[in-house]
Chains A and B, each alone.
Chain A
Amino acid sequence: EVQLVESGGGLVQPGGSLRLACAASGFTFNTFWMTWVRQAPGKGLEWVANIKWDGSEKYSVDSVKGRFTVSRDNAKNSLYLQMNSLRVEDTAVYFCARGEGMGAWGQGTLVTVSS
């Protein structure tokens, strides 16, 4: 069974940093692109970033470029999102998802940016 479990969310002040992690199991992690998607409270889905199976290609939405970095450790079956210079508008539930087409999702982790 495919499982994706996010962790690392929490309350952080504007300008602060957080590192989210996504632990994957039940599939061959190093053969899939992986994706981060977020959802602000009461709002729709927003694609954040994705990364190729070997880490050689990465893409991200303009609003996080220069602040967020997606990475992965295939030996640990884990995906990461390093978030720096956090803003109030980054407050959201962050989901990791398998594949470019986001065929499986984790339950999400809440990031709250507030003073």
Chain B
Amino acid sequence: QSVLTQPPSASGTPGQSVTISCSGSSSNIESNYVYWYQQLPGTAPKRLIYGSNQRPSGVPDRFSGSKSGTSASLAISGLRSEDEADYYCAAWDDSLSGYVFGTGTKVTVL
């Protein structure tokens, strides 16, 4: 059961920007770091963002993360066809003593 809520889908044309929201609570997003993952079809997830807004080396700066209160967002600028994938947020939940993932958002490049 996911406790982080994401929109099921998002879309844009090449070059546009897309923002994916992740809604949680005081026990997870508000008090802990948020992570974002990209899962291309048929592959393992790949971490895009850690520490709520930090990009690992190798991740394009078109991807950016932010957090405010009990919500977080992943922004993708300059959308490209290879960005078509499922995106998940995650955070530690102090009440559950475990990590929780978001419901996932499928990004389509029109």
State the A residues within 8 Å of B (CB): 35, 37, 44-47, 50, 59-62, 95, 100-108
Q: Tell me the interface secondary structure of chain B in the complex.
A: strand
Interface centre among B33, B45, B88, B103, by most A CB within 10 Å?
B45
A59→B97 contact, CB < 8 A: yes
Q: Determine which of B44, B56, B97, B104 lies in contact with A95 in the assembled complex, contact meaning CB atoms within 8 Å.
A: B44
Q: Write the B87-101 contact mask toward A (1 if CB under 8 angstroms, else 0).
A: 010101000111111
B44→A101 contact, CB < 8 A: no
The residues of A that contact B96 with a CB separation of less than 8 Å are 61-62
A102→B37 contact, CB < 8 A: yes
Q: Determine which of A45, A106, A107 lies in contact with B37 in the assembled complex, contact meaning CB atoms within 8 Å.
A: A45
Q: Write the B43-67 contact mask toward A (1 if CB under 8 angstroms, else 0).
A: 0111100110000100000000000
Distance in angstroms between the alpha carbons of A103 and B37 in the assembled complex:
9
The residues of B that contact A60 with a CB separation of less than 8 Å are 98
Decide yes or no whether B9 CB sits under 8 A from chain A: no
Q: When A103-B47, A106-B44, A108-B44 are in contact, do A46 and B101 touch as well, CB less than 8 Å? A: yes
Interface centre among B33, B86, B99, by most A CB within 10 Å?
B99
Distance in angstroms between the alpha carbons of A98 and B75 in the assembled complex:
25
A47→B35 contact, CB < 8 A: no
Decide yes or no whether B2 CB sits under 8 A from chain A: yes
Distance in angstroms between the alpha carbons of A60 and B101 in the assembled complex:
14
In the assembled complex, the CB of B76 is this many whole angstroms from the nearest CB of chain A, namely 19
Residue on A nearest B34 in the bound complex, by CB: A101
B47→A61 contact, CB < 8 A: no
A103→B98 contact, CB < 8 A: no
Distance in angstroms between the alpha carbons of A95 and B86 in the assembled complex:
16
The residues of A that contact B100 with a CB separation of less than 8 Å are 47
In the assembled complex, the CB of A26 is this many whole angstroms from the nearest CB of chain B, namely 15
The residues of B that contact A105 with a CB separation of less than 8 Å are 44-46
Residue on A nearest B45 in the bound complex, by CB: A105
B46→A47 contact, CB < 8 A: no
Distance in angstroms between the alpha carbons of A79 and B47 in the assembled complex:
20
Pull 14 A–B residue pairs with CB atoms less than 8 Å apart, ordered by A.
A35-B99, A37-B45, A44-B104, A45-B90, A45-B101, A47-B90, A47-B101, A101-B33, A101-B50, A102-B35, A102-B37, A102-B47, A103-B50, A104-B47
